Structure 1
Amino acid sequence: MLRRSEVRLNSSIKRINMFNKIKLMRLTALFAVVSIFAACTKADDYKKYVAGGEISYPGKIDSVKISSGNNRVQLKALFLADPKVVLCKVFWNNFKDSLSIPVVKKNTVDSLTIFVPNVAEGLQSFTIYTYDKDGNRSIPVNKTGMSYGDRYKASLSNRGISLAQTGSDGVTKIDWLGMDRLTGVFATEVQYTNNSNQTVTIKVPIDATSTVLANFKTSSSMKYRTLFLPDTSCVDTFKTDFVDRYIPRYVEQDVTSTYLKNAGPFNRDTWDGSRWGTLADWISNAGAKNINSNRYGGYELRSGVGVLSFESGWGITTPVTNGLIYQTITLPAGTYSFRLNGIDQNSGGSRFISVAAGNTLPNVADITSASIAFANISDGKLDFTLTQQTTVSIGFAVSIANTGQYIKVGSVGLFKQVYL
């Protein structure tokens, strides 16, 4: 039998449990009411934004490509299968500038190619939207593009020319200087008049170092300008201003007798009375005199005709070592050609013709560094240009072994370019 105190405790516990259940029921009911109210409020808020119907987003433009240009860019893109699109807008310059493009779709996929004008020079950001007839717009498409303008143009210069002339053979030739490829240079445009009085336009690739102007009208002018593409996507060609260039015609004037003595057939100064000797009017150093105890060398009577000669072997035991034969003359400014005729030689050793400033010809070892110009005797000629009147030494520098090596020259000539 329970005690009275235990009965009172059980009764208290039952009252507490009943109170907690009632409290939980009240909280649950309150939460349900709040949830229903919140749901209704969200629904009402959504209705504020979609009053009149659900939001409609037109299909955005696709496959956008922006190419650089001259104060403009070119935009290429695709309109996909959304028939609601009626307008496209391009924004740039922080949305201060824009371009509207009406859209009339004809196919499931239509293409767009359009120039965006008046774009300030430099890298620009573009934002592109499409719109339907109700003014709803697509999500944005963002792209960057480059515009070139006055700053880039100011950095461009015309390609240089090192020589432009019509030769005595009637061929008109231009020799070009090189250019920095980083500027975007790719060609030079040349215009000239031919012998039929027709204007001819040619485009010379930047890789070409010289150009022949076919059928050029003698002693007339041509004009030229240089072409640039600043990057591989650029749709506009930038051009320098045309520059006029007069192209003179020259003929070769034989000035041998004016400046050279004993040019051939050659006369002797000293002679052994049979075959060998030294040349009259030419300076021959000790190295050129390797015959008959170093008394003779440089001259040979060959088949009754005097020739300029270097020879060692066949009984001549002394080689030609640094043999120099030359004349010292004073020439006015101009372009010259020193030419050899009647060359008969074999191979071996060092065999040069040279022109050098001053009263002596450089030694064989110094020919390549101390000459105004030099060439191998086998070339048969030496072309050189003097920018002012100059005293020069011109002639032969030879070293050959005593193994039957030889060089014979029948005559020499000196020619000057005279412009008409």
Structure 2
Amino acid sequence: MDDYKRFFDDQEIIYIGKPDSVKVFSGRERVDIQWLIISDPKVSSATIYWNNRAEQKKVDIQRGAGVDTVRTTIDGLTQGFHTFELFTMDQEGNRSVSVYTYGMVYGDNYEASLPNRSVDGIKYEPDGNTFVSWLLADSASIGVSLSYETILGKKRIKYISNDELTTELEGCDPDKQIFYRTMYKPDPMAIDTFYAPEITLKVNEILLKNAGSPFRGTNISGRWGNLESWDTNTAAKNHDGIGGFDNVNNGGFLSFEYWSTPPIINGKISQSIQLPSGKYRMVARVSNIDYTCEATYMLVCAGSNLSNVESIDSAIAAFRLTDNFLNNKDIAVPFQLNTRQLVTLGFLSTMVQNNPTSVRISSVRLYRENE
């Protein structure tokens, strides 16, 4: 019955208080391990083993009154699942029973697999700000870190929450790239933030004033009015001194119409805008064309004015509108600028021979092609 005593040299085994409420906080190639010392005043240190006891760390402990919290960091860990063995000791070398715990460690492989939040578009408002439109965020992410440069050459950083769908970038230089990366924490208690691979973006749409769907009009009388924020010349105002805006069926369209009215000779509806160098597409949605257009164009010209019909070849680029084959279709004028310059874009029409003729445009967009 007493045979077991020969293994213990008749000495009493003294155990001190073990680590209590052990928690492991995941990190980048490291973990934080935290525990409580509840009552034993003799505890003076702790030892942590990992990697099948091939590695260890000793933690000196200064006891205070009452319950103490001990927290230490284990660095240099490989990505993956790790098991840790902890015990406490007193000054005489008496130790507690071992406590086992485990945790995940994350590293470069995990970070490289993280997806970025998708961007719906980056729109630049001339003489204004830039707007980033976001698609829905991954529920596992904690936001986006975005950086950009202002037109004054200053670097700015913004942090975008998951519920933010549009981010306004004040003073953003449209010629410079925007950088962003999505932030993650592998679990709510993680001690490090991880980032998806960095993505670079540039402005891909220039916001035109009063771009349609529907267009807004001023000085409206019945169906007809002037287009808000567009320059409309006298020739296009052939409805008793107003024109360019057609509110048929309360639709709100950019319009030319020669229908029991004075004819139109080089009628022009335009906007002038300073653009950075780059490749662009001016895109318009044709609502409807009645009958056959004599000479109607969507065009882009250098400088502050549209060319006339007879000098259409001087335009940077142009698209000729013809007939109802284009109804409910998008038409595009691609063009390229090699330097930053002032351009005028819009619509040009001469309607003299074909009475009646009408053109109605639903919307106009200006896109920038990014290579």
TM-score normalised to structure 1 length: 0.52
Equivalent residue runs for 1:266-277 within 5 Å: none
Structure 1 residue corresponding to 2:325, chosen from 350, 356, 360:
360
Distance (Å, rounded) in 2 between the aligned partners of 1:167 and 1:209: 18
Equivalent AA in structure 1 for residue 158 of structure 2: I
SS of the equivalent of 1:153 reads: helix
Equivalent residue runs for 1:221-370 within 5 Å: 221-247=177-203, 250=206, 252=208, 265=238, 334-337=281-284, 360=325
CA offsets 1:210-233 (integer angstroms, 9 cap, x no match): 321122234333221221112222
When residues 299 and 206 of structure 1 are mapped into structure 2, their CA distance, relative to the original with a 3 A threshold, is same
CA offsets 1:273-329 (integer angstroms, 9 cap, x no match): xxxxxxxxx9xxxxxxxxxxxxxxx9866xx789xxxxxxxxxxxxxxxxxxxxxxx
CA offset at residue 128 of structure 1?
1.1
In structure 1, the residue matched to 2:69 is 111
In structure 2, the residue matched to 1:166 is 124
CA offset at residue 417 of structure 1?
2.6
Equivalent AA in structure 2 for residue 360 of structure 1: F
CA offset at residue 333 of structure 1?
7.4
CA offsets 1:140-176 (integer angstroms, 9 cap, x no match): 2122211112331221243343422312362311223
CA offsets 1:366-400 (integer angstroms, 9 cap, x no match): xxxxx55xxxxxxxxxxx685979xxxxxxxxxxx
In structure 2, the residue matched to 1:135 is 93
Answer whether contact 2:113 2:196 (CA < 8 A) is retained. no
In structure 2, the residue matched to 1:46 is 5
SS of the equivalent of 1:46 reads: helix
In structure 2, the residue matched to 1:294 is none
Distance (Å, rounded) in 2 between the aligned partners of 1:108 and 1:80: 7
CA offsets 1:161-202 (integer angstroms, 9 cap, x no match): 342231236231122344544xx3221111122345432211
Identity %: 25
In structure 2, the residue matched to 1:57 is 15
In structure 1, the residue matched to 2:163 is 207
SS of the equivalent of 2:86 reads: strand
In structure 1, the residue matched to 2:291 is none
In structure 2, the residue matched to 1:150 is 108
When residues 385 and 413 of structure 1 are mapped into structure 2, their CA distance, relative to the original with a 3 A threshold, is closer
SS of the equivalent of 1:360 reads: helix
More divergent stretch after superposition (166-175 vs 60-69):
166-175
1:417 aligned to 2:366? yes
In structure 2, the residue matched to 1:83 is 41
Answer whether contact 1:128 1:141 (CA < 8 A) is retained. yes
Answer whether contact 2:123 2:207 (CA < 8 A) is retained. no
CA offsets 1:334-382 (integer angstroms, 9 cap, x no match): 2434599xxxxxxxxxxxxxxxxx96367xxxxxxxx55xxxxxxxxxx
Q: Which has the higher helix share?
A: 1
Gaps of 5+ in 2: 212-226, 228-234, 241-254, 264-278, 288-322, 336-357
1:120 aligned to 2:104? no
In structure 2, the residue matched to 1:219 is 175
Distance (Å, rounded) in 1 between the aligned partners of 2:160 and 2:142: 9
Equivalent AA in structure 2 for residue 189 of structure 1: S
In structure 1, the residue matched to 2:298 is none
Answer whether contact 1:251 1:419 (CA < 8 A) is retained. no
Distance (Å, rounded) in 2 between the aligned partners of 1:212 and 1:71: 36
CA offsets 1:229-269 (integer angstroms, 9 cap, x no match): 12222221101343443437847599x9xxxxx976379xx
SS of the equivalent of 2:325 reads: coil
TM-score normalised to structure 2 length: 0.58
Answer whether contact 1:87 1:101 (CA < 8 A) is retained. yes
Q: What is the root-mean-square deviation of aligned Cα atoms in Å?
A: 4.5
CA offset at residue 137 of structure 1?
1.6
Q: Which has the larger radius of gyration?
A: 1
CA offset at residue 411 of structure 1?
7.4
In structure 2, the residue matched to 1:406 is none
1:191 aligned to 2:147? yes
Distance (Å, rounded) in 1 between the aligned partners of 2:159 and 2:72: 29
Gaps of 5+ in 1: 1-37, 257-261, 268-281, 283-297, 307-331, 341-357, 363-370, 373-383, 390-408
Distance (Å, rounded) in 1 between the aligned partners of 2:179 and 2:99: 46
